[in-house]
Amino acid sequence: MATKHENGTILERQAQKLKPPPMYQVLLLNDDYTPMEFVVAIIQEYFNKDHETATHIMLCVHRDGKGACGVFPKDIASTKVEYVLTHARKAGHPLQCVMEEV
Ligand code: TYC
């Protein structure tokens, strides 16, 4: 869009170049040792899912090897990964959690 000023100058507005911020999905990875109910509890606590939805996600991860729990801006995704890993290690489970740009 062009704006004409009183003094005769014409300012061309730059085309909007801002892109929406990149988003990241947080994934849980399957392993043979972490108890199913622990994974369900993690999904409920950190990804605000009800028990049924959390169980569905956990079973997808168990079957497919990995599964997404949610999509977030970068800093929120990385905080969730850190919280999940800290909680799992404190409980003595090898659960893995990673983030990936979507
Ligand atoms: N495979 C695990 C078991 O049989 C359950 C499990 C599900 C572990 C999802 C990790 O991200 C995971 N106890």
Sign of CA dihedral 53, 58, 64, 70: positive
pLDDT score, position 16: 80
Q: 17-101 has which fold?
A: Ribosomal Protein L30; Chain: A, (3.30.1390)
pLDDT score, position 40: 98
**Residue-level pLDDT, tens digit, the chain, 102 residues:** 444 545 666 555 667 889 999 999 999 999 999 999 999 999 999 999 999 999 999 999 999 999 999 999 999 999 999 999 999 999 999 999 999 999
Q: Where are the domains of the chain?
A: 17-101
pTM of this prediction?
A: 0.84
Q: Which of 28, 34, 69, 95 to mutate to test the pocket of ligand 1 (most atoms within 8 A of CB)?
A: 34
Measured from the Cα of 33, ligand 1's closest atom is: 13
pLDDT score, position 37: 98
